């Protein structure tokens, strides 16, 4: 809690003002040094919760303090602690626990500031991820210890922190401390070590009245002080919300995979940022894997953005928070790691990229804006199906709350919308609600998982992944639906298999399927990082394994040739804006990392010079064309070569799939009308996406998806080398950080076997233990049958090569049929004008029929169709199997 920026600000909401001003001098009259500290920080008048809680707590009562976010709860325990402190005594007198390290540090800073004039004040923080030795030193003469439960427990166990003289025990964000089992265990243990006779204070903005019984364990009699009830001005509106925060929901079309959902949400995000002035913004996502992607996307759009998540080095995390609170970063993309407690007075915009897990998380997240009565805006970007339902459920569980729906097409700056121009969010929900994730820590519970599964199945039966509207009104949705469903099934099937076979690192099993889909790394053992293997390495692996290597050797040469080709082509000046001209039937292998595939380069080159349609294909194309009443000439037109764009995609980057040059230009397609007016986009038609082509956008295609410079920039911004790189994944924090259960749900098992206590003491040995455990698990789970299956698969591959039919070749032709067929449905609807030129690499292989139609402007749009994803996925899946097989067999 930094020094207040608000004390002179008269434009604060009423919930932080008392009817009659109550100066701190009235409450802390006998403590001039504390009063001086308060006034130096800009704290002159007490807020309603401070007026209500301070006398009670100063009097020594056990107290529960509950008040809205940002209304000044920290001072309700900081001031009494300082008043009570015996400065002349060096021993530990107060212990304060917080669920995240960042909050602990913030509280310690608040003590330091308010107590700056107290001679000999010793308040220290003790948090995981920092050297224990330093903590041991700090603990020697510490009077007030603020920390995370794991580290404090450890120091108490070691008798480094001596607690016999502790007079007060304070639990900040107490609901979080008690909803998380691991925290609860530690808190209980710490409590048992403390003297019976002490004052206990618990504080939060979101105490569920059903959970109050847990406090009986810690406090025999207690007084509850609630902000809203005591707050004279806020009585008219006793909502749990900060009055200054305007809340909105922005919807995107529901799809069953995040591959499509995320880019669509990114479009919405950019749209919001472009249409709303803001000082500082925090963007929350539910997934650790997504923060970096969103941050990079924003940087691509010239926003100054940082990202923070639990697997970063602790020093980096603290610096990132500091950058936020000292207004050095404009946007911080984050997991729920900073959803609570973090106080940055300039944050006036919060955007949720995903539906928060529960009402408390929602309140805490949006409470990062509108601190101490400030004004702010909060947006939650949701898919218009399950996420929206879950969100309504969340909102329904909070009293008196108003959320507005943002129109799908924002036609003017958001603040210019009059209240009556925006609809209120309709809060009626269907009876059957999906609880997407465990409210405690984000893990999908087994029974909930089943529920989700059941619902998904039901959805499949009832076609509910598309609204009835869509199906009725749009014939083409049927093919999209099937295609999507197929993709979804494949993903699920693969995930299941990977989980069963213990092939996916548990850390990556979030429900963000995009990660599993597009990043092969998690599919390999942590020791088998994909990045360690060059194509040559992989081929060497094969060589060692099987004597039947010659057939692959031939391919290796071709691959090398291919890489040379790539280097050459990348150096060639390219005509970026003519990327796809007439070049629609490229082979599907272009969409994956060419280095990793066994693509026959000659075939590739050949394919780029001549149509890939054989007689049979041609027959089918004719059928499709006649059905769709279009000329087939364009489909079998001889495409020009475009080597430049065929080989640039990186295998591991989700955005490569789309190669969307500029997310802000990505728009939902309209099936039934012209594209001309993009703002007229129909909300129900977000199923297919188009994006506008711009000349600068074309530049992006040149870029490697992994941007070395950006990486380094980030290092600079973090000021620490460790902010980037593989070490992130090897950091012991991942396994041992008790604080990030919310976003590191997947580590729970590791945490159990290796909690922070061990880690903090012997971090290295702990990590080794974890790794060893993992290794043993893997060993135990080694499945003979799977091994044989893999071997069989490998053999099949070899046979294929022997037959001189590459996987890619076979699939290419198959996909051509498939897609033409699907597009045929679009053609019937005459929805895609023939002059569209696909722009993305992965799209260029698909033929959008040419006719003589006018609509030249439509050249500037591109269409991304689910069929492409589907096909791409099939190939990706095979690729992954192949890589896994190679790597496994090399062991
Ligand atoms: N009496 C006061 N006068 C002016 N500013 C204050 C006062 N009390 C607190 N503040 C400021 O209000 C902001 C929010 O305070 P604090 O972090 O204690 O809120 P909180 O209720 O604990 O919020 P959260 O529940 O989100 O953690 C801080 O920036 C703090 O400096």
Instruction: Out of 197-211, 465-479, 540-554, give the one with best mean pLDDT.
Output: 197-211
What whole-number percentage of the chain has pLDDT above 70?
Answer: 43
For ligand 1, pick from 21, 42, 70 the residue to mutate: most ligand atoms within 8 Å of CB: 70
227 in ligand 1 pocket by Cβ < 6 Å?
no
The least confident of 468-472, 646-650, 791-795, 858-862 is: 646-650
pLDDT in tens, 764-792: 333 333 333 333 333 333 344 544 554 55
110 in ligand 1 pocket by Cβ < 6 Å?
no
The least confident of 85-89, 92-96, 109-113, 510-514 is: 510-514
Tell me the torsion sign for CA atoms 864, 865, 871, 877: positive
How confident is the model at residue 420, as a pLDDT?
82
Instruction: Report whether 12 contacts 6 (CB < 8 A).
Output: yes
Question: From atom 5 of ligand 1, which residue's Cα is the shortest distance away?
Answer: 4
Question: From atom 14 of ligand 1, which residue's Cα is the shortest distance away?
Answer: 70
367 in ligand 1 pocket by Cβ < 6 Å?
yes
* pLDDT exceeds cutoff 80 at 199: yes
> Where in the sequence of the chain do the CATH 3.40.50.300 domains occur?
24-226, 239-431
46 in ligand 1 pocket by Cβ < 6 Å?
yes
Instruction: Report whether 64 contacts 202 (CB < 8 A).
Output: yes
* pLDDT exceeds cutoff 80 at 32: yes
CA distance 55 to 658: 60
Choice between 659 and 176, residue whose per-residue pLDDT is larger = 176
Question: Measured from the CA of 372, which atom of ligand 1 is nearest?
Answer: 12
Instruction: Report whether 511 contacts 868 (CB < 8 A).
Output: no
47 in ligand 1 pocket by Cβ < 6 Å?
yes
Question: From atom 10 of ligand 1, which residue's Cα is the shortest distance away?
Answer: 72
* pLDDT exceeds cutoff 70 at 68: yes
* pLDDT exceeds cutoff 50 at 463: no
* pLDDT exceeds cutoff 80 at 369: yes
* Backbone phi, psi, residue 327, to 5°: 60, 30
Burial class for 863, CB neighbours closer than 10 Å (0-12, 13-18, 19+): buried
50 in ligand 1 pocket by Cβ < 6 Å?
yes
Question: From atom 26 of ligand 1, which residue's Cα is the shortest distance away?
Answer: 69
18 in ligand 1 pocket by Cβ < 6 Å?
no
98 in ligand 1 pocket by Cβ < 6 Å?
no
Question: How far apart, in Å, are the Cα atoms of 210 and each of 175, 181, 213, 440?
Answer: 11, 17, 7, 15
How confident is the model at residue 816, as a pLDDT?
24
Averaged pLDDT for residues 220-231: 73
Domain formed by 24-226, architecture? 3-Layer(aba) Sandwich (3.40)
Confidence category of residue 385, pLDDT binned at 50, 70, 90: confident
102 in ligand 1 pocket by Cβ < 6 Å?
no
Question: From atom 22 of ligand 1, which residue's Cα is the shortest distance away?
Answer: 73
* pLDDT exceeds cutoff 70 at 710: no
Question: Measured from the CA of 41, which atom of ligand 1 is nearest?
Answer: 31
How confident is the model at residue 425, as a pLDDT?
85
350 in ligand 1 pocket by Cβ < 6 Å?
no
* pLDDT exceeds cutoff 60 at 201: yes
* pLDDT exceeds cutoff 50 at 260: yes
Instruction: Report whether 805 contacts 796 (CB < 8 A).
Output: no
Of 800, 871, 813, whose CA–CA distance to 555 is shortest?
Answer: 800
Confidence category of residue 531, pLDDT binned at 50, 70, 90: very low
74 in ligand 1 pocket by Cβ < 6 Å?
yes
Question: From atom 20 of ligand 1, which residue's Cα is the shortest distance away?
Answer: 70
Ligand 1 geometric centre to CA of 401 (Å)? 22
The least confident of 132-146, 739-753, 859-873 is: 739-753
pLDDT in tens, 554-576: 544 554 554 433 333 333 333 32
Instruction: Report whether 539 contacts 801 (CB < 8 A).
Output: no
Name the fold adopted by 239-431.
Answer: Rossmann fold (3.40.50)
pLDDT in tens, 480-492: 445 445 555 555 5
* pLDDT exceeds cutoff 70 at 284: yes
Choice between 880 and 765, residue whose per-residue pLDDT is larger = 880
Confidence category of residue 477, pLDDT binned at 50, 70, 90: very low
Ligand 1 geometric centre to CA of 70 (Å)? 5
Question: From atom 28 of ligand 1, which residue's Cα is the shortest distance away?
Answer: 1
SS3 content of the chain, % helix, strand, coil (to 5): 55, 10, 40
533 in ligand 1 pocket by Cβ < 6 Å?
no
* pLDDT exceeds cutoff 50 at 115: yes
How confident is the model at residue 354, as a pLDDT?
92
Average pLDDT, the chain: 60
Instruction: Please name the residue ranges forming H helices in 194-241.
Output: 227-230
Confidence category of residue 805, pLDDT binned at 50, 70, 90: very low
70 in ligand 1 pocket by Cβ < 6 Å?
yes
The least confident of 260-269, 347-356, 504-513, 824-833 is: 824-833
pTM here is 0.55
User: At 337, which helix (H) or strand (E)?
Assistant: none
Choice between 438 and 555, residue whose per-residue pLDDT is larger = 555
* pLDDT exceeds cutoff 50 at 682: no
Burial class for 536, CB neighbours closer than 10 Å (0-12, 13-18, 19+): middle
Question: From atom 27 of ligand 1, which residue's Cα is the shortest distance away?
Answer: 341
345 in ligand 1 pocket by Cβ < 6 Å?
yes
Confidence category of residue 30, pLDDT binned at 50, 70, 90: confident
Averaged pLDDT for residues 723-734: 29
Choice between 167 and 774, residue whose per-residue pLDDT is larger = 167
The two tokens of residue 532 are: 């360690």
Confidence category of residue 102, pLDDT binned at 50, 70, 90: very high
Ligand 1 geometric centre to CA of 371 (Å)? 7
How confident is the model at residue 163, as a pLDDT?
92
pLDDT in tens, 590-610: 222 322 233 332 333 233 223
330 in ligand 1 pocket by Cβ < 6 Å?
no
For ligand 1, pick from 10, 243, 343 the residue to mutate: most ligand atoms within 8 Å of CB: 343
Ligand 1 geometric centre to CA of 6 (Å)? 9
How confident is the model at residue 373, as a pLDDT?
76
């Amino acid at each position: 809690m930094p020094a207040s920026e608000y004390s002179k600000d008269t434009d604060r909401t009423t919930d932080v003002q008392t009817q009659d001003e109550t100066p701190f001098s009235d409450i802390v009259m006998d403590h001039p040094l504390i009063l001086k500290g308060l006034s130096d920080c800009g704290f002159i008048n007490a807020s309603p919760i401070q007026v209500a809680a301070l006398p009670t707590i100063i009097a020594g009562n056990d107290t529960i303090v509950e008040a809205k976010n940002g209304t000044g709860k920290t001072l309700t325990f900081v001031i009494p602690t300082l008043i009570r402190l015996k400065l002349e005594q060096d021993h530990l007198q107060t212990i304060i626990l917080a669920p995240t390290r960042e909050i602990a540090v913030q509280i310690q800073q608040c003590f330091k500031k308010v107590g700056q004039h107290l001679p000999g004040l010793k308040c220290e923080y003790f948090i995981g991820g920092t050297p224990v030795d330093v903590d041991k030193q700090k603990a020697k003469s510490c009077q007030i210890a603020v920390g995370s439960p794991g580290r404090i427990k450890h120091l108490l166990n070691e008798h480094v922190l001596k607690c016999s003289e502790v007079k007060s025990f304070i639990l900040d964000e107490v609901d979080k401390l008690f909803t998380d089992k691991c925290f609860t265990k530690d808190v209980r243990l710490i409590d048992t070590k403390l003297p019976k006779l002490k004052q206990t204070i618990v504080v939060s903005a979101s105490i569920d009245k059903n959970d109050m019984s847990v406090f009986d364990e810690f406090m025999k009699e207690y007084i509850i002080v609630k902000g809203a009830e005591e707050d004279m001005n806020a009585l008219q509106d006793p909502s749990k919300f900060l009055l200054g925060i305007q809340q909105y929901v922005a919807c995107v079309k529901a799809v069953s995979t995040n591959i499509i959902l995320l880019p669509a949400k990114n479009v919405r995000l950019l749209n919001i940022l472009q249409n709303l002035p803001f000082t500082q913004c925090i963007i929350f996502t539910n997934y650790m894997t997504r923060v970096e992607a969103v941050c990079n996307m924003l940087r691509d759009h010239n926003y100054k953005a940082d990202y923070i998540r639990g697997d970063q080095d602790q020093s980096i995390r603290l610096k990132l928070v500091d950058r936020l609170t000292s207004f050095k970063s404009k946007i911080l993309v984050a997991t729920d790691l900073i959803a609570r407690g973090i106080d940055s007075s300039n944050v006036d915009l919060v955007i949720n990229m995903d539906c928060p897990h529960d009402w408390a998380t929602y309140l805490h997240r949006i409470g990062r804006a509108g601190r101490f009565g400030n004004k702010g805006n909060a947006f939650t970007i949701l898919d218009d199906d399950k996420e929206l339902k879950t969100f309504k459920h969340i909102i329904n569980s909070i009293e008196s709350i108003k959320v507005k729906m943002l129109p799908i097409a924002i036609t003017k700056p958001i603040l210019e919308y009059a209240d009556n121009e925006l609809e209120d969010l309709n809060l009626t929900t269907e009876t059957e609600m999906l609880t997407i994730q465990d409210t405690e820590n984000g893990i999908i519970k087994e029974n909930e998982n089943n529920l989700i599964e059941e619902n998904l199945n039901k959805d499949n039966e009832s076609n509910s992944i598309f609204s009835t509207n869509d199906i009725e009104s749009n014939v083409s949705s049927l093919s999209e639906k099937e295609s999507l469903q197929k993709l979804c099934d494949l993903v699920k099937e693969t995930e299941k298999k990977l989980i069963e076979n213990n092939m996916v690192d548990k850390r990556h099993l979030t429900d963000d399927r995009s990660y599993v889909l597009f990043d092969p790394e998690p599919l390999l053992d942590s020791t088998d990082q994909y990045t360690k293997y060059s194509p040559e390495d992989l081929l060497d692996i094969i060589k060692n394994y099987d004597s039947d290597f010659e057939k692959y050797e031939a391919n290796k040469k071709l691959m090398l040739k291919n890489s040379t080709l790539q280097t050459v082509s990348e150096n060639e000046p390219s005509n970026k804006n003519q990327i796809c001209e007439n070049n629609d039937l490229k082979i599907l292998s272009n969409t994956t990392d060419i280095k990793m595939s066994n693509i026959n380069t000659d075939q590739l080159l050949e394919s780029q010079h001549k149509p890939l349609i054989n007689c049979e294909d041609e027959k089918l194309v004719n059928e499709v064309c006649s059905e769709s009443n279009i000329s087939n000439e364009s489909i079998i037109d001889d495409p020009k070569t475009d080597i430049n764009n065929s080989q640039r995609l990186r295998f591991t980057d989700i955005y490569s799939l789309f190669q969307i040059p500029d997310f802000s230009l990505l728009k939902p397609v309209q099936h039934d009308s012209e594209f001309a007016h993009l703002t007229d986009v129909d909300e129900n038609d977000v199923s297919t996406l188009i994006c506008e082509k711009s000349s600068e956008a074309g530049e992006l295609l040149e870029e490697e998806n992994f941007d070395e410079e950006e990486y380094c920039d980030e290092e600079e911004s973090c000021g620490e080398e460790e902010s980037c790189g593989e070490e992130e994944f090897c950091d012991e924090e991942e396994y041992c950080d008790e604080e990030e259960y919310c976003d590191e749900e997947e580590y729970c098992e590791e945490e159990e076997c290796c909690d922070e206590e061990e880690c903090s003491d012997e971090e290295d040995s702990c990590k080794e233990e974890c790794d060893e455990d993992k290794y043993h698990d893997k060993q135990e789970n080694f499945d003979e049958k799977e091994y044989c299956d893999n071997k069989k698969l490998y053999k099949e591959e070899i046979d294929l090569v022997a037959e001189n039919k590459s996987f890619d070749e076979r699939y290419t032709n198959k996909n051509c049929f498939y897609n033409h067929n699907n597009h045929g449905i679009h053609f019937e609807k005459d929805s895609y004008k023939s002059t569209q030129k696909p722009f993305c690499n992965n799209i260029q292989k698909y033929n959008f029929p040419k006719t003589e139609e006018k609509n030249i402007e439509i050249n500037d749009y591109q269409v991304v169709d689910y069929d492409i994803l589907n096909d791409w996925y099939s190939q990706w899946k095979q690729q992954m199997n192949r890589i896994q097989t190679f790597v496994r067999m090399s062991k």
